[in-house]
Every structure is written in structure tokens, then in C-alpha cells.
Structure 1
Amino acid sequence: MTTPVKRSRRAQMSPEQRRLENLKSFWKQRYDACTDDTGQLDPGELARVSFDRARAAATRAQRAGLAPKAMYELAEMLHTWAEQVEARQMASGGNP
């Protein structure tokens, strides 16, 4: 009598699930690496990684036909956010 071999969680995943797990791991590593020389979180690097992730997600969504206007929607969100920050700066007398 043979003992059934227990397959790992990863081996039980479909190729699409593995791809998404790899993507999740990739971005987690990028976020975890957003530190400066002293080991503190680097907000500028975090912003760059976050933008890269959003741009990549929008590109994938457009190519897959899931969201044909994904890049436009991302641009709209960034535009709105920038306008809000600039309005707060103007309201505070130009101070950041």
C-alpha cells in the first residue's frame, strides 16, 4: 500500500494563481526594500514603487481587456490627487 504524497499548496495552484502569487511576492519585496541608508522608510522610493505597481496593473488590465480605460483612470486619480494637494498648499499660503 502506498502513502499518498501530499502536494504543496503551490503545487495545487493553477498557473494563473501561481502567476498572481509571484506578482504579489514581487511587489512585497519591492515595498519592503523602500528604505534609506539608515533603514528608515523612504517615502520617495515608496511613491515610485507604488506608481510603478499602479502603472503595471493598469497596463495588464488594458491588455487583458478587463479595463480598457485603466491607464486613463489612473491618470485621472493622480490628477485629482495633485489638484487637491495644490489647493491645500494655496489655502495654507503656499506652505507644503
Structure 2
Amino acid sequence: DIIPDQIALYAVYMPILRTQVLSYVHTWNQLRIRKQRERSYVVSGRPFMNYYHPEHIIDHGLLVHEESLQQLRDSVRGWDMAEYLPSETLEW
């Protein structure tokens, strides 16, 4: 409940956490998913390649109603996911 302590924790640890999470995601997305005998529906291969360069995969994507998408974009305009503290706080 002590705001200065929370700000200090965010300022010190948030960049470290972001770096570590990105490293973890990168590492695990490069590992190979093995074929499984009893689970023929499981897609084998590297997750990164399966996502960006899929082979023999059915695209289950749906078309998005453009007006609905624009309403969603408008509702979050100005919100910055990367901003966890005010910019003047980070200038120390």
C-alpha cells in the first residue's frame, strides 16, 4: 500500500521482468513439439514455425467486422501497454 515503494519496484524490476519473459518465450518457441502416437491432432514442430510458416494446417481464422474492430481500436486509443509508470518518473 506504500506508493513510493511500488513505484521503486516497478522502475527497477519491470525492465528486468520484460527481458526475462521475452527470453523465456523465445527459448520455448524454438523447442520442438514431438509427434505423439495417441494424439494425432497435436501439431508437431517448432511453435514459431507453426505460427508464422504453417504447413498442412487448417486456417480457422475468422474475418473481422471492420466497424467493430475500429470501435475497439478507438476505445484503447492513447493507451500504451509499455507505459507502467509516468514518463517523468522514469527520467531519473
Q: TM-score, normalised by structure 2?
A: 0.28
Of Structure 1 and Structure 2, the greater helix share is in 1
Q: Which is bigger in relative contact order (C-alpha 8 A, separation at least 6)?
A: 2
Q: TM-score, normalised by structure 1?
A: 0.27
